[in-house]
């Protein structure tokens, strides 16, 4: 926060504090203390930086309110009074639908930006919200600044795209970027991105001078593909058409976003529902040297016998062959056998698993040891998204003077079409010599999670590479390269303006990140795994 306030010019400083997993964590906090439920790190940042923001006339908009935006607004006022800083603090509420979802720990609708805009128009210096869309932190200030109406869909869509680029901070300035290798020196400490937004909805993504990292068409493309699906990116204010986005270099560390078209939002709002799913425990057996498969078979059978009196509801084994032949170190001679159990009863995954695993220590395969003894079992959460009509949510701007201003739902809505017609594709490259090589020598990727689904965005940097990729990386080829997709629905979306394909794999993450369904529970490295897979690539592209 200090770096953004001191590094250059700003009108509004935004902060995105909420992920699906964060809402679950805050829900557990609220169980212990009804006055909790917001991001306390935000208050610690403000203690250092609120005076600086006030001096520079920078407004602050953050969704750090989590499950208790009113409580956070009160805490910010108390902090400002203690520091002697005259700031006007407002908040946005209405997203909390937990009471209408029995059994949930936290159920919150994703609100749009017009509650934020109402607070800013009435003079707020600090606006805190609960669950709004990440992009709302940008659309709200832009709508307030330029006086946009709810039907200015193209302008709002442009701001949504800019907000999506900003939402994950340094991921737009070289962080987590596929083609990082030739820019390693720039990435020791990447700066944070900012957006210069114009009245027509166009924007320039850049960063403060002299900060680390870099901004180019590739870094912006990568972030545009992150945790999105098809060409229509739906939100509560507008549906942004990602297939209309155009990116143009605008000088060093500057990328212009233009051409974005918008449509009326869908008639319903997304609601993220977090529940406690039960208890989870795991143990990782280390298998070293020869006969790895036989050692794994033995301990599986022994554990099944030991747990047979009270078997957990779910048992999952994964053998990870990290071992090498004739390895120079013991670690590289070892494979990992992971056992994960889940059950509604903590005893079934706690003491029973711990006893069974440790009692085998002198009676199992040669070289028996585990990475760490299993604990008593920890609760895990499950996430699902449901949808409600806009009118079911009481979107409310609570102004700095206590006035409560209802935020009207959109007048016009448009039922979201899941799939657009496949855009016209470029002609394939003519037949040419190929070499077996990793996809990542040609293509970048960025992947992430949305509930139990994962998306993998793949893009290339030249027209010829695009002519090859769009015909080569079909759904069938994707399934071959990512065998975990077996039995799951995979959808491909084509974005020619970005030279990109976006794949959505339904159900690969089970019940969401908190359930820890797979080794990489948020699919953050799924794209890098895809880039490491080999296929026949035209030599001219290499």
Residues 6+ apart with CB under 8 A from 497: 243, 244, 245, 246, 247, 259
pLDDT of residue 447: 95
Query: What percent of the chain stands above pLDDT 70?
Result: 99
Ranges of each domain in the chain? 1-147+386-407, 150-266, 277-376, 434-541
SS3 content of the chain, % helix, strand, coil (to 5): 35, 25, 40
Q: Region 310-325: what's the mean pLDDT?
A: 93
Q: What digits encode the pLDDT tens for the residues 62-105?
A: 999 999 999 999 999 999 999 999 999 999 999 999 999 999 99
pTM of the shown model: 0.92
Using the predicted structure, report yes or no on whether residue 305 has a pLDDT greater than 70: yes
Q: Region 410-422: what's the mean pLDDT?
A: 82
Query: In this structure, are residues 265 and 235 in contact, taking their beta carbons and an 8 Å threshold?
Result: yes
Query: In this structure, are residues 94 and 394 in contact, taking their beta carbons and an 8 Å threshold?
Result: yes
Residues 6+ apart with CB under 8 A from 460: 442, 443, 444, 466, 468, 469, 499, 500
pLDDT of residue 284: 95
Q: What is the CA radius of gyration of the chain?
A: 25
Query: In this structure, are residues 97 and 105 in contact, taking their beta carbons and an 8 Å threshold?
Result: no
Using the predicted structure, report yes or no on whether residue 21 has a pLDDT greater than 90: no
Q: What digits encode the pLDDT tens for the residues 156-182?
A: 999 999 999 999 999 999 999 999 998
Q: Which two tokens stand for residue 2?
A: 């200090």
Residues 6+ apart with CB under 8 A from 422: 494
Average pLDDT, the chain: 94
Q: What digits encode the pLDDT tens for the residues 495-533?
A: 999 999 999 999 998 877 777 777 888 899 999 999 999
Q: Region 45-60: what's the mean pLDDT?
A: 97
385 pairs with which residues across the strands?
Answer: 272
Q: How does residue 418 score in pLDDT terms, banded at 50, 70 and 90?
A: low
Using the predicted structure, report yes or no on whether residue 419 has a pLDDT greater than 70: no
The CATH fold of domain 277-376: Alpha-Beta Plaits (3.30.70)
């Amino acid at each position: 926060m200090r770096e953004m306030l001191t590094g250059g010019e700003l009108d509004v400083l935004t902060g995105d504090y909420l992920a699906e997993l964060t809402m679950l964590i805050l829900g557990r906090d609220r169980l212990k203390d009804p006055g909790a439920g917001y991001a306390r790190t935000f208050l610690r940042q403000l203690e250092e930086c609120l005076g600086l923001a006030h001096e520079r006339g920078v407004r602050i908009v953050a969704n750090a309110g989590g499950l208790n935006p009113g409580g956070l607004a009160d805490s910010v006022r108390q902090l400002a009074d203690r520091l002697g800083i005259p700031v006007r603090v407002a908040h946005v509420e209405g997203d909390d639908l937990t009471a209408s979802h029995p059994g949930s720990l936290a159920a919150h609708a994703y609100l749009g930006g017009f509650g934020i805009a109402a607070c800013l128009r009435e003079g707020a210096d600090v606006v805190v919200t609960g669950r709004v869309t990440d992009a709302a932190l940008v659309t709200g200030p832009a709508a307030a600044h330029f006086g946009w109406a709810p039907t200015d869909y193209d302008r709002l869509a442009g701001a949504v795209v800019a907000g999506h680029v900003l939402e994950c901070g340094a991921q737009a300035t070289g962080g987590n970027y596929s083609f990082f290798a030739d820019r390693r020196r720039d990435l020791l400490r990447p700066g944070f991105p900012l957006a210069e937004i114009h009245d027509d909805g166009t924007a320039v993504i850049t960063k403060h001078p002299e900060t680390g990292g870099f901004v180019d068409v590739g870094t912006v493309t990568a972030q545009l593909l992150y945790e999105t699906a098809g060409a229509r990116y739906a939100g509560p204010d507008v549906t942004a058409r990602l297939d209309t986005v155009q990116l143009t270099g605008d000088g060093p560390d500057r990328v212009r976003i233009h051409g974005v078209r918008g449509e009326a939002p869908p008639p319903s709002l997304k609601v993220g529902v977090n529940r406690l799913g039960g208890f989870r425990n795991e143990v990782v057996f280390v298998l070293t040297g020869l006969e790895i498969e036989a050692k794994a078979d033995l301990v599986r059978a022994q554990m099944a016998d030991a747990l047979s009196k009270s078997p957990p509801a779910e048992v999952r084994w994964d053998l990870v062959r990290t071992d090498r032949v004739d390895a120079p170190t013991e670690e590289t001679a070892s494979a990992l056998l992971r056992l994960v159990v889940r059950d509604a009863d903590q005893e079934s995954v706690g003491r029973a698993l711990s006893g069974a695993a440790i009692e085998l220590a002198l009676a199992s395969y040669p070289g028996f040891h585990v990475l760490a003894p299993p604990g008593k079992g920890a609760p895990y959460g499950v996430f699902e998204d449901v949808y409600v009509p806009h009118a079911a949510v009481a979107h409310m701007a609570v102004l700095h003077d206590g006035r409560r201003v209802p935020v009207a739902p959109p007048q016009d809505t448009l039922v979201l079409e899941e799939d657009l017609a496949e855009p016209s594709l470029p002609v394939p490259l003519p037949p040419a010599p190929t070499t077996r090589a990793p996809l990542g020598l040609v293509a970048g990727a960025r992947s992430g999670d949305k509930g139990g689904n994962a998306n993998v965005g793949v893009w290339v940097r030249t027209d010829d590479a695009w002519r090859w990729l769009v015909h080569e990386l079909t759904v069938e080829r994707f399934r071959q390269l990512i065998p975990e997709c077996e039995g799951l629905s995979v959808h491909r979306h084509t974005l020619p303006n970005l030279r990109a394909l976006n794949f959505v794999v339904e159900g690969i993450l089970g019940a969401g990140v908190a359930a820890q369904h797979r080794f990489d529970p948020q699919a953050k490295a799924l794209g890098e795994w895809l880039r490491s897979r080999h296929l026949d690539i035209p030599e001219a592209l290499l």
